[in-house]
Amino acid sequence: MRFIGNLIWLLLCGLATAVSWFLLGLLWCITIIGIPFGKQCFKIARLMLWPFGADLDIHFFRHPIANLIWMILGGFVLAIIYLIAAVLCCITVVGIPFGIQCFKMARLALMPFGATVN
């Protein structure tokens, strides 16, 4: 079931959002100061390709200052967008697994520093 969920996710939204996160990461990496933020965008892009079956551990206090800067620079808005997508997916019974993955993405989009994806 994970494979089927990941395949449907990849075809419907995963590929486009992963490419978007990857391009955003490249933009961050243009500056030396932005390289840590770009690396987090690459982490999110990798999760966007194959989210079903991936475990996410958020550790805010490993890098609290970086997470706060991330939240201010757009992480909060991205998390809200993923939360809205999650609620819209959860309206139907078929969309509930995809909504759960959007909730996972919202957590990572809010605090990516110190997070591990297994």
Q: Note down the domain range covering 50.
A: 2-117
* pTM score of the predicted model: 0.86
Tens-digit pLDDT profile for the chain (118 aa)?
789 989 988 898 889 889 999 999 999 999 889 999 999 899 889 888 989 988 888 888 888 999 999 999 888 999 999 999 999 999 999 999 999 999 999 999 999 998 888 8
End-to-end CA distance of the chain: 18
Contact 76, 42 (CB under 8 A): no
pLDDT of residue 12: 87
> How many domains, in total, are found in the chain?
1
pLDDT of residue 117: 84
